[in-house]
Amino acid sequence: MDTASHRTPAKAPWTLLLWTAVASLVFGLIGFGELAEDWLRVARNSFRPHAASGQVVVVKIDDRALKEHGNWPWPRRLEAQMIDRLEQAGAKAIFLDINFSFPSAAADDRALAQAIERSGKVTILARSKIGPIGHDKAIDARPLPAFTRNARIASGSVHYNYQNAVWQMPFATMMGKDRVPSFGAALAGVDGPAEAMFPIDYSLDVTTVPAFSASDLLAGKLGARQFAGRKVIVGTASDILGDTYFIPGYGRNYGIFVHSAAAETLIRGRSQYFGWMPGALAALVVIALALLCRRTTHTALVLTGGAVILTMVPIALELKLLFFDITPGLFAFAIVGGALVWRRFHARGLVNPSSGLPNLSALTAFRAGRRQAIVAARMLNFEEALASLPPHSERKLVEQVIARLGVGNRERVIFQGDGGIFAWFAEPREPFGNHLEALQALFRNPARVADLSVDLSVNFGVELGSSRSLASRLASALVAADEAARDGLKWKIHDPETLQDASWRLSMLSQLDAAIDKGEVWVAYQPKLDLASRRIVGCEALARWTHPEKGPIAASEFVAAAEQSNRIGKLTDFVLSQAVANAAALVKRAGGEFDMAVNMSASLLSDKSFVLRLSALLARHGLAARHLTLELTETAALTSSGEGLDMIGQLRNLGVGISIDDYGTGLSTLDYLKRVPANEIKIDQSFVKGIAESRSDRLMVQSTIQLAHSLGHRVVAEGAELREIVDILTEMKCDFAQGYAIGRPMSIESLAKRISADRKRSAA
Ligand code: C2E
Ligand code: MG
Ligand code: MG
């Protein structure tokens, strides 16, 4: 059977790892996590804010300055004035983030060129491209040669993202053949290769960058205190003029602040960006380790730990200005975690949580079982056994059960349902009988759990295979197991398609006689308890037919069929002769006090030779007639014919006891009771079973006992399934009880042992 794959719900982890690697690769390549990445970075930055160095100072051409000095662009003599003022204030270097690529009034241009020359420390803006990342357009915004003659140039090329944020800045850009440093690099005095980018460290609190209005500078209100020995960047700072960017963690601000932030970064050190690969690779390594763990809790621990560390490590590294992206790595953790949780969730529905065995849902989902037979085992007292054990012993008990059920086929996958139900698939042609009987025999020895011994009784039901769904076939197997338990059989085959079919009934009948001859029919004996003395004082003989292919067939099934077609004679003769033959020995063993009951359909009472044959049988086995009781069913027929009643009279004269079986289910008027010369009433189990719960059943049983006693009859209650019922019956002064609580129908050998044990116990 190829059900072994079901045993391991977790598949090979490597496929999961591979898919995770591919997914995080795609994730990283398309930059899917950018938004989250930025958000995480801003969150981390907020933990380590730092103030500006103070080496870089900003002069803002702001709305106030524009109001005072007129619209932009200004006449260049104003910029010349600013250069002069800064120069006087002792600025270390002057950076003009202002476009001087076009000519203006000649006098103004001249004034600016002269101021630049006077200073000798001026750097002015050149721009070769601008735009969002990947879409920037080339422009040529170099300052006029008149200005650059005595000034350096710096690149103001920036690349902004979806948010209009500038996360990285080049050290320098190539303009034609010239390598032009970026404002940030130039301000910080750091040299770096062209087009190589460095990340801007936005943990800088931009509000700490010293900034002044151009209006105050031009008005002469600022001086050495603000500018001496510092590098000054002058640029527009008005929403009307644009050049606004999003500063992560701060909000909208102007280009000059972005350049300042870039400069501040480089002043602290050379920042480096490693992209997303290291994070993703580290995550995959940790995931691989996690998947190697045997226990799910360890796997979960390693995965969570990995994700937490990956989230925290950048905090430490960014202090050293080392930047890398973590979202593709976190994504990998999320994928694996999600997949494992999903698998577990999915598997949970198919696994019995207490034992880890696949459950019955798993069985019904097991498509390969469609062409196999289903065997269901039901432990009747499993729950009680569990209740008697210390908590958390279910797994141990189940292990013992599985060890026994697995005898003969260790490879077999056993599915576990609730409350002591187990099931498995089997070859439909397998000879079940011997195997199941052997398994049942194994359960005769008590299981040992936590130093306690636990008695388990098991019955099996088999569904051989049909076109129905696995769920309904399983249900049938379970019903068969229940029927087996009810009928005192070890196992039973559920085969509704053949059993219900008329041709099977016919063939069953034709087979019954042959079955008796072949020895397939045998007799089981169910003990009867005397409720006053608490001794086994009798038994009922019950016919059993173990069909070689179909397994045990319920007595009610073949008895009813035989009765309906007047074929019951041979069966009755067979059971009677077996029972009488055995009774003699049992009477002796029980010390003379023993009653053997045999079922007989009242319809047989028309057979005139019956009384003669019976007395011959009793004589042959040396059994006194008073040790035999005939339990009559279908007695309603008796009242219409005086014949049957006559025969009962003759039997009574012989000394044989007569019991009215299944009392309560058919005709049971007082008149009827008086007319049938019985000496015993057997209350039907359908009433007795309910007396612990149902008041009306209790009343019915109680009044029947009183009525029977008043007529001089003794009373047997059948269907005493629970100890409690036996106790209630005793209180009700019922004479005898029969039922599972006392004993199931068993072989004659078992009954003999039972009686001996009973005698020894009561003698002691
Ligand atoms: P019955 O004579 O009423 O027999 C009692 C039935 O109740 C038996 O079923 C027995 O196994 C079952 N039983 C005993 N204790 C309990 C209990 O505590 N709980 C429950 N639920 N059931 C209990 P079985 O052996 O299947 O027999 C069914 C019927 O078939 C018998 O009912 C009887 O009417 C008939 N039968 C059995 N053997 C013979 C026979 O040799 N000749 C005739 N004519 N009829 C027979
Ligand atoms: Mg009976
Ligand atoms: Mg009965």
Which residues is 597 bridged to in the sheet? 540, 629
At 498 the pLDDT is 46
Contact in structure between 729 and 737 (CB atoms under 8 Å): yes
Q: Is 331 left (phi over 0), alpha (psi -120 to 50) or beta?
A: alpha
SS3 content of the chain, % helix, strand, coil (to 5): 50, 20, 30
| Whole-number Å distance between alpha carbons of 120 and 91 | 11
Q: Which of 683, 712, 617 is nearest to 656 (CA)?
A: 617
Look at residue 376 and give its three-state secondary structure: strand
What's the gap in Å between 555 CA and the centre of ligand 2? Answer: 11
Number of neighbouring beta carbons within 10 Å of residue 43: 12
CB burial of residue 436 (10 Å; 0-12, 13-18, 19+): buried
Rounded Cα distance between 257 and 60, Å, is 10
Residue type, 213: S
Q: Tell me the sheet residues that pair with 760.
A: none
Residue 442: other Cβ atoms inside 10 A: 15
Positions in the chain whose pLDDT score sits under 70: 1-12, 129-140, 345-348, 495-507, 564-566, 634-641, 666-669
Cβ atoms 453, 431 nearer than 8 A: no
Residue 533's nearest CA partner among 762, 237, 314, 331 is 762
Mutate to test the pocket of ligand 1, among 479, 665, 718, 729 (most ligand atoms within 8 A of CB): 718
Best residue among 380, 557, 559, 634 to mutate for probing ligand 1, ranked by most atoms within 8 Å of CB? 559
Residue 740, burial from CB neighbour count under 10 angstroms (0-12, 13-18, 19+): buried
CA 660 to chain centre: 55
d(CA 691, CA 399): 37
pLDDT at 669: 66
Note the pLDDT of residue 505: 60
Give the DSSP letter string of 327-372: HHHHHHHHHHHHHHHHHHHHHHTTB-TTT--B-HHHHHT-GGGGGS
CA of 758 to the centre of ligand 1 (A): 23
Residue owning tokens 């735009």: 131
Q: Which element (helix H / strand E) includes 19?
A: helix 13-29
Residue whose Cα lies nearest atom 12 of ligand 1: it is 487
Whether residue 686 contacts residue 675, with contact meaning beta carbons closer than 8 Å, is answered with no
Specify the residue for token string 């040396």. Answer: 622
Strand partners, 523: 543
CA of 719 to the centre of ligand 3 (A): 8
Q: Which atom of ligand 1 is nearest to the CA of 524?
A: 25
Q: Which atom number of ligand 1 is nearest to the Cα of residue 740?
A: 18
Compute, in degrees rounded to 10, the torsion defined by CA atoms 740, 745, 749, 751: 40
| Ligand 1 pocket test, candidate residues 557, 574, 596, 599, most atoms within 8 A of CB | 599
Determine the distance separating the centroid of ligand 2 and the alpha carbon of 526, expressed in angstroms: 10
For 409, the token pair is 């086929």
User: How many Å lie between the centroid of ligand 3 and the Cα of residue 634?
Assistant: 11
Q: Give the nearest ligand 1 atom to 720 CA.
A: 18
CA 472–ligand 1 middle distance (angstroms): 28
Tokens of 672: 């009827």
8 A C-beta contact, residue 631 and residue 685? no
> Using a CB cutoff of 8 Å and minimum separation of 24, what contacts does 728-731 make?
728/691, 728/692, 728/698, 729/531, 729/688, 729/691, 729/701, 730/531, 730/532
Strand, helix or coil at 226?
Answer: helix
Whether the Cβ atoms of residue 683 and residue 706 lie closer than 8 Å to each other: no
Q: pLDDT tens digits, residue range 627-649?
A: 999 998 766 566 556 778 888 99
Assess whether the previous peptide bond of 446 is cis (omega < 30° from 0). Answer: no
What separation in angstroms does the CA of 269 have from each of 8, 320, 322, 369, 750?
54, 8, 10, 69, 94
What is the DSSP-derived secondary structure letter of residue 48?
S
Q: Characterize 391-417 residue by residue with b for buried, 16 or more Cβ atoms within 10 angstroms of its Cβ, and e for exposed.
A: eebbebbbebbeebbeeeeeebbbbbb
438 vs 67, 127, 404, 435, 613, CA distance in Å? Answer: 106, 93, 10, 5, 40
Q: What's the gap between Cα 16 and its chain centre?
A: 19
Tell how far the Cα of 688 is from the centroid of ligand 2, in angstroms. 14
Q: What amino acid occupies position 521?
A: V
The helix (H) or strand (E) run that includes residue 702 is helix 695-710
Q: Phi and psi for 443 in degrees, rounded to 5?
A: -80, -5
Ligand positioned closest to the Cα atom of 684: 3
C-alpha 446 to ligand 1 mean position (Å): 28
Residue ranges around ligand 1 (CB below 6 Å): 486-488, 526, 542-543, 554-556, 559, 568, 571-572, 575, 599-601, 631, 633, 661-662, 685, 718-721, 738-740, 745
Residue 494 is given by DSSP the state E
The set of residues, in sequence order, having a beta carbon less than 8 Å from that of 103 and lying 6+ positions away, is 109, 144
Q: Given the DSSP bridges, would you call strands 680-683 and 657-663 parallel, antiparallel or unpaired?
A: parallel
The residues, any chain, with a CB within 8 Å of residue 667's CB and separated by 6 or more, are: 635, 636, 639
The two three-digit tokens of residue 132, written as one number: 């969002």
How many whole angstroms separate alpha carbon 389 and alpha carbon 450?
A: 8
Residue 667: per-residue pLDDT: 60
Which whole-number Å values give the CA distances from 510 to 507, 561, 568, in the listed order? 5, 11, 12
Nearest alpha carbon to residue 241 among 59, 68, 73: 73
Q: Are 288 and 297 in contact (CB under 8 A)?
A: no
DSSP element (H, E) containing 748: helix 748-763
349, burial (CB in 10 Å: exposed 0-12, middle 13-18, buried 19+): exposed
Q: Rounded to whole angstroms, how far apart are CA atoms 661 and 365? A: 46
Of all helices (H) and strands (E), which one includes residue 300?
Answer: helix 296-319
**Which pLDDT does position 496 carry in this prediction?**
64
Give the DSSP H or E segment for 379. Answer: strand 373-379
The pocket of ion ligand 3, defined by CB under 5 A, consists of 661-662
Query: What are the strands, taking DSSP E only, across 674-739?
Result: 680-683, 714-718, 736-738
Residue 79, H or E segment: helix 76-88
